[in-house]
Structure 1
């Protein structure tokens, strides 16, 4: 479900939940714990990766639709906790976007320091509106940091999915490389960063990311109940049920 690959003191956390690395309660919990524990296990930097052609398809909607409100609240608290762990990580984190990254997959990438995406017909974006969900303000803020206020508004309100080239043009991702080079390039980028004077680099990084870190300073105060209200609203439930039906029809 989650593989750890060590590139010396750069640790790669590779999502390994076939077929699409969908984020269910167990994977989210494992990933949160791994991100939080990595510095204590000797990691000086992290790479978050997926499988060739698929970074993560986002939330495992069929599994999550089976949860009652109490269980879903626990899951969403863990998901916000994972976002906080990435946003506030004391070590640099690169998203090695090895393929498609809709919705929750895009959220994970947005929280990282840097994003390297596979070149080609892969899609990325916060398309929550398409399935009847709103994007929480803490996640909206993280996207605004990357692409600017108006561009973020247009992408989120429309639930737009961008291909890799479009995502690069607007600043949602920082680099494009061939699929089989994404992880290697992430390791090289982090190695160059770690080669800088460490105290100066870390202090500057901490100041530069202070706005994002502040938003996620207390995961318990993030709008979990507000998101739950939206998830269980009739409009969202109809849209999510239709999505599950489409997924089942694809086999």
Structure 2
């Protein structure tokens, strides 16, 4: 039988002294990064489109406030990016998205950016939308969304980009209805949807533009929790963010990017190889016709409400 003989005739004390010294330094650095305070202010960034407020625990709440339905146009997307950067610069430990509107989180992409578009504006719109997506997918701090009303299409894309979603109870729907408007979602969107739901359920929901009630959204995995009202949803989002209190901040973005590697790689591939894919699709005659029909439907609904 072969016996391996190790030579332990070495002085190990210097090794342990160095090890203990390194661990002490690591603990000091960890405390700095874990407890770095967010500059407290009840309104650190406010515009006509968004409001960024920070609580005493350093959690930022970004409220979308573009009536009537928080539709995402260039300016609102830019405001979200700006607020995201402000929260990061101030050292906030997390950010929650919600809406100031009582029945709508976000109706999605602004139809006026897509229907009969001016190409320069449309190009800027898509670039800004993807810049916003990258902020979430590579975030240095945890993000969550408190859904408090209707959340179709691009509205749910914004919610899905965050790491945790809580919906309120109510008579509204959540999900992707892009195909119903004649739009095929980008590969990174479908990958993110399949990452969020089970692949089979995500496939069926995307293909059929299925919209879910809050309870069904919870059951299927579109959201992680449900609350009675917006305040309750925000509190649950804060609970999620507080789970990271003892986690070194520098681990968040690398870990998040590994976990969401497939949709993130799809997004980078789209930006590098197919940046005009959606632009070409949106400007197709068939898509413009479908969008035109949708615009007319919205006009009829508005007229009917006016008559009442």
Q: Distance in 2 between matches of 1:36 and 1:176?
A: 28
The residue number in structure 1 matching 2:306 is: none
The residue number in structure 1 matching 2:8 is: none
CA deviation map 1:9-41 (0-9, x unaligned): 111111000111111111011112322342112
The residue number in structure 1 matching 2:240 is: 189
Q: Distance in 1 between matches of 2:80 and 2:289?
A: 30
Q: Distance in 1 between matches of 2:80 and 2:73?
A: 11
Q: Check the 8 A contact 1:24/1:64 in 2, yes or no.
A: no
Q: How far 1:161 moved relative to its partner?
A: 0.8
The correspondence of residues 69-84 of structure 1 with structure 2, limited to 5 A, is: 69-84=119-134
The correspondence of residues 23-172 of structure 1 with structure 2, limited to 5 A, is: 23-51=72-100, 52-172=102-222
Q: Which has the larger radius of gyration?
A: 2
Pairs aligned (count): 250
What SS class does the counterpart of residue 150 from structure 2 fall into?
strand
Q: Distance in 2 between matches of 1:222 and 1:165?
A: 39
Q: Distance in 2 between matches of 1:65 and 1:140?
A: 23
Change in Cα spacing, 1:206 to 1:60, as seen in structure 2 (3 Å) is: closer
Q: Distance in 1 between matches of 2:249 and 2:62?
A: 25
The correspondence of residues 237-248 of structure 1 with structure 2, limited to 5 A, is: 237-248=288-299
Q: How far 1:7 moved relative to its partner?
A: 1.7
Change in Cα spacing, 1:15 to 1:42, as seen in structure 2 (3 Å) is: same
The residue number in structure 2 matching 1:14 is: 63
Q: Check the 8 A contact 1:88/1:216 in 2, yes or no.
A: no
- Contiguous gaps of at least 5 residues in structure 1: none
Q: Distance in 2 between matches of 1:10 and 1:63?
A: 32
Q: Distance in 2 between matches of 1:116 and 1:198?
A: 25
Q: Check the 8 A contact 1:81/1:219 in 2, yes or no.
A: no
Q: How far 1:80 moved relative to its partner?
A: 1.2
Q: Distance in 2 between matches of 1:217 and 1:91?
A: 21
Q: Distance in 2 between matches of 1:71 and 1:207?
A: 33
Change in Cα spacing, 1:80 to 1:228, as seen in structure 2 (3 Å) is: same
Q: How far 1:64 moved relative to its partner?
A: 3.8
CA deviation map 1:36-74 (0-9, x unaligned): 342112211110111332110001103542531222011
Given the two structures, how large is their TM-score scaled by the length of structure 1?
A: 0.92
Q: Distance in 2 between matches of 1:228 and 1:156?
A: 20
Q: Distance in 2 between matches of 1:245 and 1:146?
A: 33
- Contiguous gaps of at least 5 residues in structure 2: 1-48, 303-308
The residue number in structure 2 matching 1:233 is: 284
Given the two structures, how large is their TM-score scaled by the length of structure 2?
A: 0.75
RCO comparison, higher one (Cα < 8 Å, 6+): 1
Q: Check the 8 A contact 2:197/2:221 in 1, yes or no.
A: yes
